[in-house]
């Protein structure tokens, strides 16, 4: 697959997930190859291009927390029910998300990416919705495996 085909495949998975779950936004963040920072690379349903400029530290923000723990995260009623400062959640602020569910993406068994679905109005994500997000995350791991380059021993 060429890089352009991989990018289109990623966008197709995100588009399909957005429709399946009925979410307003789907985003994909990936940890930089060098260093601890995490950057949002892809989005569908985005309000603007701010996501492209968002970089969070390992352990910070939704993406940084998911990569550091390797576990999914549900956030509801943002910004009212978050721990820490609202500014620690730049993707939620930029996209005006009220509710989101995000899962880690693993490369060589290490969490290096995040798939996030979000809504701008209050809602809950059912077990079925969460399964779809998990399944889409696994599909993205497969698509991005070579693109990310973690199989070649990159860090």
Q: What is the pLDDT of residues 49-75, one digit of tens each?
A: 999 999 998 888 899 999 999 999 999
Spatial distance between the Cα atoms of 61 and 79, rounded to a whole number of angstroms: 13
Spatial distance between the Cα atoms of 99 and 5, rounded to a whole number of angstroms: 31
The two three-digit tokens of residue 9, written as one number:
């495949």
pLDDT of residue 34: 85
Asked if 92 contacts 46 with a C-beta cutoff of 8 angstroms, the reply is: no
pLDDT of residue 148: 60
The closest alpha carbon to 30, from 154, 122, 124, belongs to: 154
Q: Examine residue 153 and state whether it is found in any structural domain, yes or no.
A: no
Q: Examine residue 33 and state whether it is found in any structural domain, yes or no.
A: yes
Asked if 28 contacts 40 with a C-beta cutoff of 8 angstroms, the reply is: yes
CATH code of 39's domain: 3.30.450.40
Kindly tell me the sign of the dihedral angle through the C-alpha atoms of 42, 108, 62, 139.
Answer: positive
Q: Examine residue 76 and state whether it is found in any structural domain, yes or no.
A: yes
pLDDT of residue 152: 36
Spatial distance between the Cα atoms of 96 and 46, rounded to a whole number of angstroms: 10
Q: Examine residue 154 and state whether it is found in any structural domain, yes or no.
A: no
Q: Examine residue 120 and state whether it is found in any structural domain, yes or no.
A: yes
Q: Examine residue 155 and state whether it is found in any structural domain, yes or no.
A: no
Q: Examine residue 14 and state whether it is found in any structural domain, yes or no.
A: yes
Structural domain boundaries enclosing 143:
3-148
pLDDT of residue 147: 60
Q: Examine residue 134 and state whether it is found in any structural domain, yes or no.
A: yes
Asked if 94 contacts 64 with a C-beta cutoff of 8 angstroms, the reply is: no
Give the contacts of 44 (CB within 8 A, at least 6 positions apart): 11, 14, 15, 18, 25, 26, 27
Give the contacts of 52 (CB within 8 A, at least 6 positions apart): 40, 41
Provide the number of structural domains found in the chain: 1
At 154, the pLDDT band (50, 70, 90 cuts) reads: very low
- The chain-wide mean pLDDT, for the chain, equals 91
Q: Express each pLDDT in 101-148 by its tens digit.
A: 999 999 989 999 999 999 999 999 999 999 999 999 999 999 998 766
Q: Express each pLDDT in 17-39 by its tens digit.
A: 999 999 999 999 999 888 889 99
């Amino acid at each position: 697959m060429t890089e352009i085909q991989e990018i289109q495949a990623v966008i197709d998975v995100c588009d399909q997930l957005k429709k399946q779950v009925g979410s307003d936004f789907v985003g994909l963040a990936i940890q930089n190859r060098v260093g601890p920072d995490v950057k949002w690379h892809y989005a569908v349903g985005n309000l603007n291009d701010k996501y492209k400029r968002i970089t969070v530290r390992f352990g910070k923000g939704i993406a940084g927390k998911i990569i550091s723990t390797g576990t999914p995260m549900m956030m509801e009623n943002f910004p009212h029910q978050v721990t820490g400062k609202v500014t620690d959640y730049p993707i939620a602020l930029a996209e005006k998300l009220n509710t989101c569910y995000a899962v880690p993406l693993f490369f060589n068994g290490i969490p290096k990416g995040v798939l996030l679905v979000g809504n701008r109005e209050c809602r809950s994500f059912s077990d079925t919705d969460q399964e779809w997000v998990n399944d889409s995350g696994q599909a993205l791991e497969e698509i991005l495996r070579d693109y990310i380059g973690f199989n070649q021993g990159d860090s």
